């Protein structure tokens, strides 16, 4: 469907309608994404591998060294998990922001369409039947 705008140019209302439908679909998709990200966070949030006391590797030179490096590596794992949880949460926040942005756009688009429709109506009225007659 093509309507005529106040400046006499066509406005593709069908395309706009399609876009608005896509917005609804996106919300479902985004919910899936949010769910998957939340699952990921739940799986590792608060988890860290237990410590192995350094002396449990023995007290020879390399035993102490292995204990030391194992502890450093364990902390690297812990940091990685913490960072990942943080990043996943940011992913989620970003997706949520994305969704909100869409909602705002959707709302504004609806209002603008109503406004344009009113203008189109006034043009039709002023031209005694409308340009699409």
Partner 1 sequence: MTRGPERLRLDAALAEADEAVVRGNGEAEWLSATYRLRDVSRALRVAANAGLGIGGQTGPAMFKAMRRSADHLDERIALFNEGRAALGSAADTISRVREQRDRLDTDPETAALTDPGEFRDDPEWDDEKRLREQSRHTAAASAFADREALREQRAREIAEEFDRRYDEPIAVMKKIHGIPDPEPETVSGDGGAGGGGRGSVPGPRGAGGTPGTGGLLGGGPHPTYAADPVGPGEGTDPGSGPGGGTDGTTLGPDAGDEPTVLTTATTGGSGGSSGTAVGVGLGGGALLGGLAKGGVLRGLTGGALVGGQQVRATARSQTRPLGGLSRSAVSGTLGRGSVVGAPVSGRPAARGGVGAASSAGRTSTGRGTAAGAGGRSGTRGAGGRAGGSPTAGRRRDRDGSSDHEHYDDDGSDWLDDEAAPGVLG
Q: Nearer to partner 1 by C-beta: 30 or 129?
A: 30
Q: How far is the CB of 27 from partner 1 (least distance, A)?
A: 10
Q: Nearer to partner 1 by C-beta: 50 or 129?
A: 50
Residue 4's DSSP bridge partners are 10
Q: How are the residues of the chain apportioned to helix, strand and coil, as percentages rounded to the nearest 5?
A: 75, 5, 20
Q: How far is the CB of 128 from partner 1 (least distance, A)?
A: 20
Q: Nearer to partner 1 by C-beta: 86 or 127?
A: 86
Q: Nearer to partner 1 by C-beta: 52 or 133?
A: 52
109 sits in which H/E element: helix 61-126
Q: Cα 57 vs. chain centroid, distance in angstroms?
A: 46
Q: How far is the CB of 88 from partner 1 (least distance, A)?
A: 7
Q: Cα 58 vs. chain centroid, distance in angstroms?
A: 50
Q: What φ, ψ does residue 48 adopt, rounded to 5°? A: -150, 145
Q: How far is the CB of 127 from partner 1 (least distance, A)?
A: 15
């Amino acid at each position: 469907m093509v309507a005529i705008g106040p400046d006499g140019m066509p406005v593709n209302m069908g395309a706009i309608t399609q876009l608005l439908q896509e917005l609804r679909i996106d919300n479902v998709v985004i919910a899936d994404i949010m769910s998957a990200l939340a699952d990921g966070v739940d799986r590792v949030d608060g988890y860290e591998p237990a410590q192995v006391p350094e002396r449990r590797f023995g007290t020879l030179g390399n035993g102490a060294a292995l204990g030391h490096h194992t502890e450093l590596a364990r902390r690297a794992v812990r940091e990685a998990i913490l960072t990942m949880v943080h990043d996943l949460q940011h992913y989620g926040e970003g997706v949520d922001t994305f969704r909100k942005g869409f909602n705002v756009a959707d709302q504004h688009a609806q209002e603008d369409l109503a406004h344009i429709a009113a203008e189109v109506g006034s043009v039709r009225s002023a031209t005694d039947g409308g340009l699409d007659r």
